[in-house]
Amino acid sequence: MSESATMYDVLLVGAGPAGTACALALRDSGLRVALVDKAQFPRDKICGDAIPSPTLKALARLNPAYATEVLALTAAHRAEVAHSRLVAPAGAEVHISWKAPAFNSPRLHFDDALLQLVRRHTSTEILENWPVQTVEATPAHVALRSSRPELAPLTARLVIGCDGANSVVGRQLVPWPLDRRRHCAAVRVYYTGVQHAPETTSDFYFLRRHLAGYCWVFPVGNGVYNVGFGMLSSDIARDQVDLKQVLRQLLSEHPGLAPRFREARPLGKIQGFGLPLGGSARPLTGPRALLCGDAAALIDPMQGHGIDKAVQSGMLAAEHAKRCFQQNNFSPAALHLYTDEVQRRIGRPLRQRYRLMRLLAVRPWLVDALLLLARVPWLERAFVKAIG
């Protein structure tokens, strides 16, 4: 290791939901922690901006004040969502009311709120504009080097990769081949002036042609809507799908969408990003390394939600890190217990949801039938439980 390297106990790479939750959960650990991100916050993250209800519940378990403060910090940039409108491939609509409170908030603001909690409540050193280029592990340490040569390397006894879908930590310390059947790609763009769009309802459109995916219109507050479309990467490759083109076409031609977007105005360009789906056997640990959130491929294959899983896995990684330091044991066997825990708590249900998604993906008639059945009140409750 370089003599000039700054030494920490734990280096968290990535200050999204996984990295910030992990930093909050390490608060009273007594460990010297740095949270490193290539971006300067507030920063955008291409996303649907739907914050699943388990996200705040998980933060509140750490400290009830965290949930209250996130709500206060995002108050001006939020839409409370009580309902969803699901539009079947054949056009039938079903309206679902959610039991648990959820909200949508642009990641520009939501992720910044999480980082503000870290600043307020922890002694974590936050290093922004710190793009990690290489991650190197020895038996005793791990070292990060930046693509900005003027930045001195950082070393630690443990690195936690929270650096998202294209994780550098994952690629270099826990490599795993890309399986396009367990990966989605999606595009999104913000719009204003969308018609028939109550600020409390998120819309999902399922399409006969692209079933393993959906188009969404989510209110994010202040009359702005997050509009997007995503589908399985294996289907994109097989059918040579241009996602941006499909989204443009849907907004101008789909019988349910076109009238709503006639007067609407985009607020920027359509942008895309990857979604590594959960339910695979991806290893989550490597030499002196744990992975969380998208770096660990934990996105719900049914809904495309990953923010809640990022927070939950970040908290599990923090607990595991504390144990490793208490026992001074960073052996592969000790680290592997983290994989077992994540698989048990998060991975197993995601595996079932992956199988359900594959089943529905080739049976449009089943999606039509399920959405029709969901109109029956007592079946709606079962439906909400199954997909929520």
Ligand X SMILES: Cc1cc2nc3c(=O)[nH]c(=O)nc-3n(C[C@H](O)[C@H](O)[C@H](O)COP(=O)(O)OP(=O)(O)OC[C@H]3O[C@@H](n4cnc5c(N)ncnc54)[C@H](O)[C@@H]3O)c2cc1C
Are 164 and 14 in contact by the 8 Å Cβ rule? The answer is yes
For residue 374, with 0-12 CB atoms within 10 Å meaning exposed, 13-18 middle and 19 or more buried, which class applies?
Answer: buried
Which is it for strands 285-286 and 289-291: parallel, antiparallel or unpaired? antiparallel
307/374 with CB nearer ligand X? 307
Question: Is 381 buried (19+), middle (13-18) or exposed (0-12) by CB count in 10 A?
Answer: middle
Pairwise CA distance, residues 166 & 185, whole Å: 12
Block residue for tokens 């992720």: 111
Name the one range near ligand X by CB under 6 A: 59-67, 250-258, 303-311, 329-337: 303-311
Site map 172..211 versus ligand X, x via CB under 6 A: --------------x-x-----------------------
* Sign, Cα dihedral of 325, 329, 332, 335: negative
CB of 293 to ligand X, least distance (A): 2
Beta-bridge partner residues of 265 = 192
CB of residue 55 to ligand X, shortest distance in Å: 7
Q: How far apart are CA 254 and CA 260, in angstroms?
A: 10
The distance of closest approach from Cβ of residue 46 to ligand X in the complex, given in angstroms and rounded to an integer, is: 5
* Residue 108 binds ligand X, judged by CB under 6 A: no
With respect to ligand X, which residue has the nearer C-beta, 163 or 235? 163
- Interface region with ligand X, contact rule CB under 6 A, candidates 71-79, 241-249, 294-302, 364-372: 294-302
Minimum CB distance to ligand X smaller for 18 or for 335: 18
Q: Does 50 bind ligand X (CB under 6 A)?
A: yes
Considering beta carbons, is residue 39 or 369 the nearer one to ligand X?
39
Could you tell me which residues are beta bridge partners of residue 266? 191
Asked if 302 touches ligand X (CB under 6 A), the answer is no
247 lines the binding site for ligand X (CB under 6 A):
no
For the record, the structure tokens of 155 come out as 């070393």
Closest to 219 measured CA to CA, from 20, 379, 77 = 77
Q: Verify binding: residue 112, ligand X, rule CB under 6 A.
A: no
Q: Which is nearer to ligand X, 180 or 262 (CB)?
A: 180
Nearer to ligand X by Cβ, of 81 and 257: the residue is: 81
- Interface with ligand X by CB under 6 A: which range of 175-183, 281-289, 301-309, 344-352? 301-309
Q: Pick between residue 249 and residue 369 the one whose CB is nearest to ligand X.
A: 249
Q: Which has the closest alpha carbon to 352: 278, 282, 241, 291?
A: 278
Q: Is 212 one of the binding residues for ligand X (CB under 6 A)? A: no
Shortest Cβ distance from residue 87 to ligand X (Å)? 17
User: Is residue 37 at the binding interface for ligand X, with CB under 6 A as the rule?
Assistant: yes
Between 332-342 and 307-327, two packed helices, what is the crossing angle to 10 degrees? Answer: 150
224-232 vs 213-221, strand pairing mode = antiparallel
Provide the residue type at 128 as one letter: E
Site string for ligand X, 131-150 (x = CB under 6 A): xx------------------
Separation between Cα atoms, residue 43 and residue 128, nearest integer Å: 11
Residue 254 and residue 183: Cα distance in Å, rounded? Answer: 26
The contact set with ligand X (CB under 6 A) reads 13-19, 36-39, 45-50, 52, 131-132, 162-164, 168, 186, 188, 228, 230, 273, 275, 293-295, 299, 304-307, 310
